[in-house]
Structure 1
Amino acid sequence: MTVTASPDLVFERSDELGTAGHEQVVFCRDAATGLRAIIAIHDTRLGPALGGTRFYPYAGESEALTDVLRLSQGMTHKAAAAGIALGGGKAVIIGDPATLKTPELLRAYGAFVNSLGGRYITAGDVGTNADDLDIVATATAHITGTNHGSGDSGFSTAYGVFVAMKAAAEHRWGTNGLRGHRVGVEGVGKVGSHLVGLLLEEGAVVAAVDASQAALARLAALYPDVEVPDSVVDADIDIYAPCALGATLTSSSVAALRAAIVCGAANNQLLDTSVALLLQGRGITWVPDFVANAGGLIQVHGELVQRTKEEVLAGVADIAVTVRKILDLSRTTGRLPSDVTADIVEARLAGADVQEVRS
């Protein structure tokens, strides 16, 4: 009998995640609170796996599993590209946080995190915040980004995307960088809203969209001059900044894209790796998402190793150095930015002396 691999699986998937090499995937259920969560540990060669907890109303378990596998793999790449002594992990809680989230559920989730003995360190993500993490922390010490620690990482993530975008703009257009260029920001939550502010301060013209009317209302109160079109993917913009959920870059969206640069905070922006070729074919510069959005990871890692706020901010600013290196190599070799970055990641994962890296 022939068995066809399904994307619903972990180790024998039919998609690209089938060869991603996840070390451990844990399914968590607590009937009393309604908790259904998945924790994925992708790679711990550089250190314990760290990644946020996403609380989201997935259509089903299969969709949640695919997301957590993709996100945890991205965290491995993010830490390695940033030179941080951490592995990659991620967790998702299935459900609408507006109706399902309770202190009891968060404590139950914390107990599952604690059961992994420190192999996975959790933090905040879409649908969770520092207040939630304070509750999770009552059940586990394997956590970062609480109010008693470094707090919400939204600004650090936004600042990292900003310096990455500025480096890409200077690489493409010269020293004026972002000034006067039109940026379309897709998603204006706790990261995108900070990014809008930084862009406006830099002299960019900003258009923004979000599925949440409340988020757009908050943005309008802060920045009334920001345009709100129906879409930014096909708008007359110079830079597209995806800052919501991933996989917005597909064959059809790339065909419609009018921007010259793509750089944003969303994880897993490409539907699959073939989209990178489509971007290159259209002459669009893509800054790999796990490089641009590493600011939050740099912040929470700084909390773990007791760095000052000034040291953390300097580390986030160094994302620009990495972006320049990647884009320069891409230009001189003709290779995709994602392939150049993959080489950097693999070299660090394969050649790392774990004791030296962790020191």
Structure 2
Amino acid sequence: MHTETGVFGRSQELSSRRHEQVVFCEDDKSGLKAIIAIHSTALGPALGGTRFYPYASESAALEDVLRLSWGMTYKAAAAGVNLGGGKAVIIGDPATMKTEELLAAYARFVNTLGGRYITAGDVGTNTDDLDVIGKHTAFVTGRSTAAGGSGDSARLTALGVFHAMRAGAESVWGAPSMAGRTVGVEGVGKVGGELIAMLLADGAEVCATDVNDAALQRISRQHPSVRLLSTVATAPVDIYAPCALGGILTATTAETIEAKLVCGAANNQLATPEVERSLNERGITWVPDFVANAGGLMQVAGELRAADPVAIESDVTAIYDRCRDIITAAQASGIGTGAAANRFAERRLDAIPRTI
């Protein structure tokens, strides 16, 4: 029985595919405390965003970066891009701690990895930050168009989620349309805001919630028809779209969700794998997050190879087909959509000989 604790133990708890490398970064002068986790480089350099967040503890930050980097491996594999999985977290409040000196120090740590890890944006970081990081390392993507990058990835991330939701709707109700459906969006930041606009344009009724009241008021001004609620997870909606932080789907919430379809942009939505079983038993279809939210990854991966933006958007739109295939495979095999998506990704990973 596995009893190992610490980094190695946590890595094994995620799956049999352990992390290749975890780097702890600290710079006293700037106040930087960061962790970079490289889960896999089997398909290519590990790519993943940098999350700047005031974690309650270093242990919580480690847990998050391990889970997120593992998820990036599967996201890249399922998306068909030749990249591995990695992620980084900077511990602290970006509103008070973020400085050019700190970002430069972080970039220097990224540089020491020699290209095994390529960073991008995430919660708490934006294109301006990536432009600063790009002054100190070449191993960064998602920079502003002025700096030669592809710009913010929120729109394409939302576009992928929208098409994943269409695939889920087709499975549940027989038509890939949001018309007449009520969608509860949890988290109305950049991605959630873009998704709301797409849902409304397709005929959906939308209700929304967020811990940030200013963000909710912005959505209300932009889209007066959106109903603002204290919670949408247990509201009488057809579709629940978690677009904030992960772990929101717990054993408790799985028993109280009224939606028949769960599909959103948040990473690591399931608090534990058992949650999906609870959703299945209640007849709720879950579209795996790492497949649905791969649009941003496709954009920054395209930036790295200087791909045509029109071709990248076409690839993102095809998330609809990938999600439909995964849902169909799950139904045919009598397994959950998460297991079916894992199999889809692992076929690519297993075809590559391990070099480490």
TM-score using structure 1 length: 0.95
Q: In the alignment, which of 43, 64, 67 is matched to residue 67 of structure 1? A: 64
Aligned ranges 1:1-359 → 2 under 5 Å:
5-6=4-5, 9-13=6-10, 16-17=13-14, 19-147=16-144, 148=147, 149-175=149-175, 177-352=177-352
Displacement after TM superposition at 1:5 (Å): 3.8
* AA matched with 1:302: G
Q: Is the 8 A contact 2:81 2:298 kept in 1?
A: yes
Cα distance in 1, alignment partners of residues 10 and 117 from structure 2? 23
Cα distance in 2, alignment partners of residues 300 and 81 from structure 1? 16
1:357 matched to which residue of 2?
A: none
Cα distance in 2, alignment partners of residues 320 and 18 from structure 1? 27
Query: 2:26 aligns to what SS in structure 1?
Result: strand
Displacement after TM superposition at 1:264 (Å): 0.3
Displacement after TM superposition at 1:224 (Å): 1.0
Cα distance in 1, alignment partners of residues 181 and 42 from structure 2? 41
Q: Is the 8 A contact 2:159 2:295 kept in 1?
A: yes
* Identity score, percent: 57
Gap runs ≥5 in structure 2: none
Cα distance in 2, alignment partners of residues 242 and 229 from structure 1? 14
* AA matched with 2:152: D
* AA matched with 2:109: F
Displacement after TM superposition at 1:86 (Å): 0.1
Q: Is the 8 A contact 2:166 2:176 kept in 1?
A: no
Displacement after TM superposition at 1:15 (Å): 7.5
Query: 1:40 aligns to what SS in structure 2?
Result: strand
Cα distance in 2, alignment partners of residues 83 and 45 from structure 1? 13
Q: What is the root-mean-square deviation in Å for CA atoms of aligned residues?
A: 1.5
Q: Is the 8 A contact 1:260 1:283 kept in 2?
A: yes
Q: Is the 8 A contact 1:208 1:232 kept in 2?
A: yes
Aligned length: 350
Query: 2:55 aligns to what SS in structure 1?
Result: coil
Structure 1 consecutive aligned stretches of length 4 or more whose deviation exceeds 2 Å: 3-6, 12-20
Displacement after TM superposition at 1:352 (Å): 3.5
Q: Is the 8 A contact 1:240 1:263 kept in 2?
A: yes
Gap runs ≥5 in structure 1: 355-359
Query: 1:118 aligns to what SS in structure 2?
Result: coil
* Segment of structure 1 superposing worse, 209-218 or 45-54: 209-218
Q: Is the 8 A contact 2:12 2:18 kept in 1?
A: no
Q: Is the 8 A contact 1:12 1:18 kept in 2?
A: no
TM-score using structure 2 length: 0.96
Q: 1:42 to 1:14 in 2, by over 3 A?
A: closer
